[in-house]
């Protein structure tokens, strides 16, 4: 008892120290500004006025989701000092509204979508453990994101490289306010953008929970995820989406690998799925695996969760346009088509192969469709989405049915079979099916390779993601195993994690 109070004290100590550090960083920044102020009024140059054309062009930039500083630039491509319009450095209400809605939708995917999808699939003695793990991810990742996560992933500037962002720039969300960050969205407040991207960082480690369900200590999961975010997720998200990222083919002209990933096929699904496979193999199977019945305790909860995931995924995919524009609209359509096709096709395959079209089959198909369309949704047309939907049903079906049985790893809720396999296949399919007809941004830096050799770049990105996820997870899992241990005692596991780890029961009759 006493030692747990000391642990708690340490945790709050750490948080307090982080908060203090953030205040100091702010103070240091504020100092030079204060010193410079008195000199300013001495020489007041005449403030340039925007022309009517410039003001109209700025409003048009809002409608077309383009750069509002563009119409203000002079012959040399620079905005004259002091030239502003009413739309300079403010968010566009429509784009902002959609991104705040999208952020809430992506959070809804985890809480409670994924929690119920996974929670229904475990035995009833472990339902709360899954819910606790999803809530734990939301809290822990938010703290990391505030302290340095956003900075590592999205801070550009001189301190940023191809692998990791500039820590000092936005640490503790310093300077992340309602003014848009033009690197990622001309019309979306940076604080909204930051919160939106944080929701992705929350759901990614929560996906891993599926593979290791029912048999890992809560403390070990939280430690693993804390380290995994730093070692695997932040660098990977920066490489794929950071403005200077190593694999950001769409926006970074200097990207070494000119790959594309619209909403996270590599960053979210490949990374979590492959890490889940490695972690579940190091952890070992559940006690009684293959001998005892481990059927889902509630297909009703599972289906409810699946519906929430599907709805939330519109924020995930269409929101990844970081605007309420035509690219988002296309992503909305392709997401729907691929998901519905995969959902139905999985049911049909099951009916032909096993004789029943099951609820779990429809749910698995829907999630697989959502996963595979994720990297492609903003880059493919309706035909591409249908092809992806069919692939999403067929290939993961083979993995969860035959491959898992053959190799005998206990990927309890099929995180590997659906997310790793689906994410990898989606990243590759995007290379073949992407077309600039639905997304003109593909013409900016990738005009020469789209429809030709883009798939080779995708293969390279898949390789980098796979190596980072596998090696990172191997190291972290063994560190956690050697320090606090991965598994609860046999008694705890047999009795259930709910009453032992969380002191509660899911169902009291």
Q: Rule CB under 8 A: which residues touch other proteins?
A: 121, 293-296, 354, 356, 358, 360-361, 364, 400-402, 404-405, 414, 417
Question: Two tokens at 148?
Answer: 């340095």
Between 174 and 404, CB nearer to other proteins:
404
Q: Least separation, in Å, of the C-beta of 128 and other proteins?
A: 21
* CB-based contact 97:108 (threshold 8 Å): no
Hey, is 435 helix, strand or coil?
coil
- Minimum Å distance from CB 213 to other proteins? 13
CA dihedral 472, 458, 165, 317 (to 10 degrees): -100
Q: What is the largest CA-CA distance in the chain?
A: 85
For other proteins, which is the closer residue by CB, 364 or 439?
Answer: 364
Cβ of residue 296: shortest distance to other proteins, in angstroms? 6
Considering the complex, state which of residue 252 and residue 364 has its C-beta at the smaller distance from other proteins: 364
Q: Which residue has the tokens 């596998």?
A: 470
User: Least separation, in Å, of the C-beta of 292 and other proteins?
Assistant: 9
Min dist. Cβ of residue 405 to other proteins (A) = 5
CB 334 within 8 A of CB 387: no
**Least CB distance to other proteins at residue 356 (A):** 7
122 vs 188, which CB is nearer to other proteins?
Answer: 122
Task: Round to whole Å and give the CA distance between 340 and 348.
Answer: 12
Nearer to other proteins by Cβ, of 130 and 132: the residue is: 130
Q: C-alpha angle with apex 307: 306 to 312, nearest 5 degrees?
A: 95
Q: Smallest distance from the beta carbon of 279 to other proteins, in angstroms?
A: 19
Minimum CB–partner distance for residue 229 and other proteins (Å): 29
DSSP H helical segments within 414-453, as ranges? Answer: 415, 421-433, 442-445
Determine if residue 89 is left, alpha or beta; phi over 0 gives left, psi from -120 to 50 gives alpha, anything else beta.
left
Give me the least distance between CB of 119 and other proteins, in Å please.
15
Closer residue to other proteins in complex, CB, 401/435: 401
Say how many C-beta atoms besides its own lie within 10 A of residue 40's C-beta: 8
User: Which one, 39 or 509, has the nearer CB to other proteins?
Assistant: 509
Residue 375, burial from CB neighbour count under 10 angstroms (0-12, 13-18, 19+): buried
What tokens were used for 329? Answer: 């609209």
Distance (Å, whole) CA 252 – CA 254: 5
Minimum Å gap between C-beta 415 and other proteins is: 12
Q: Please state the closest distance from residue 290 (CB atom) to other proteins, in A.
A: 9
User: Which DSSP category does 323 fall into?
Assistant: S
Distance, in Å, from the CA atom of 263 to the CA atom of 318, rounded to the nearest integer, reads 8
What whole-number distance in Å separates Cα of residue 127 and Cα of residue 138? Answer: 18
Whose Cβ is closer to other proteins: residue 116's or residue 255's? 116
**Of 148 and 344, CB closest to other proteins:** 344
Q: Smallest Cα–Cα separation from 325: which of 445, 434, 185, 182? A: 185
The residue among 47 and 354 lying less far from other proteins, judged by its C-beta, is: 354
* Residue 6, C-beta contacts closer than 8 angstroms, at least 6 positions apart: none
Would you say 364 or 500 has its CB closer to other proteins?
A: 364
Tokens of residue 198, six digits: 């944080």
- Token output for 363: 């749910």
Picking from 130, 233, 261, 152, the residue whose alpha carbon sits closest to that of residue 473 is 233
DSSP string, 185-223: -SSSBHHHHHHHHHHHHHHHHHHHTTTTTTSS-HHHHHH
């Amino acid at each position: 008892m006493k030692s747990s109070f000391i642990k708690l004290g340490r945790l709050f100590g750490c948080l307090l120290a982080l908060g203090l550090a953030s205040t100091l960083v702010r103070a240091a920044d504020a100092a030079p500004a204060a010193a410079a102020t008195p000199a300013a009024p001495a020489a007041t140059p005449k403030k340039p006025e925007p022309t009517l054309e410039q003001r109209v062009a700025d409003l048009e930039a809002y409608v077309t989701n383009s750069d509002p500083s563009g119409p203000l630039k002079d012959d040399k491509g620079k905005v004259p000092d002091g030239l502003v319009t009413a739309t300079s450095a403010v968010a566009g209400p429509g784009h902002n509204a959609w991104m705040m809605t999208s952020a809430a939708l992506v959070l809804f995917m985890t809480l409670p979508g994924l929690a119920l999808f996974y929670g229904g699939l475990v035995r009833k003695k472990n339902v709360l453990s899954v819910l606790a793990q999803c809530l734990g991810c939301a809290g822990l990742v938010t703290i990391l994101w505030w302290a340095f996560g956003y900075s590592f992933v999205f801070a550009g500037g001189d301190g940023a490289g191809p692998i990791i962002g500039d820590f000092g720039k936005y640490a503790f969300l310093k300077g992340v306010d309602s003014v848009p960050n033009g690197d990622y969205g001309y019309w979306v407040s940076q604080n909204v953008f930051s919160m939106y991207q944080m929701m992705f960082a929350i759901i990614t480690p929560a996906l891993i929970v599926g593979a290791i369900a029912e048999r890992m200590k809560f403390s070990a999961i939280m430690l693993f995820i804390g380290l995994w975010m730093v070692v695997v997720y932040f660098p990977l998200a920066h490489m794929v989406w950071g403005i200077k990222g190593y694999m950001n083919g769409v926006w970074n002209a200097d990207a070494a690998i000119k790959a594309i990933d619209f909403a996270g096929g590599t960053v979210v699904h490949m990374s979590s799925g492959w890490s889940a496979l490695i972690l579940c193999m190091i952890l070992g199977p559940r006690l009684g695996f293959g001998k005892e019945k481990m059927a889902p305790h509630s297909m009703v909860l599972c289906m409810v969760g699946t519906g929430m995931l599907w709805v939330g995924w519109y924020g995930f995919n269409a929101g990844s346009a970081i605007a309420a524009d035509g690219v988002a609209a296309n992503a909305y359509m392709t997401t729907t088509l691929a998901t519905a096709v995969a959902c139905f096709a999985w049911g049909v395959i099951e009916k032909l192969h096993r004789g029943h079209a099951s609820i779990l089959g429809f749910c698995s198909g829907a999630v697989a469709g959502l996963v595979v369309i994720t990297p492609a949704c903003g880059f493919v047309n309706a035909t591409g989405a249908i092809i992806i939907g069919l692939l999403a049903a067929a290939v993961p079906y083979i993995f969860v049915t035959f491959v898992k049985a053959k190799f005998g790893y206990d990927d309890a809720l099929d995180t590997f079979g659906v997310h790793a396999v689906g994410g990898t296949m989606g990243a590759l399919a995007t290379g073949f099916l992407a077309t600039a007809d639905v997304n003109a941004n593909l013409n900016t830096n990738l005009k020469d390779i789209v429809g030709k050799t883009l798939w080779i770049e995708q293969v390279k990105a898949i390789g980098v993601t796979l190596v980072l996820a596998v090696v990172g997870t191997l190291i972290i899992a063994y560190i956690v195993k050697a320090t606090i241990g991965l598994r609860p005692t046999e008694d705890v596991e047999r009795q259930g994690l709910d009453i032992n780890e969380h002191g509660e029961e899911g169902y009291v009759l």
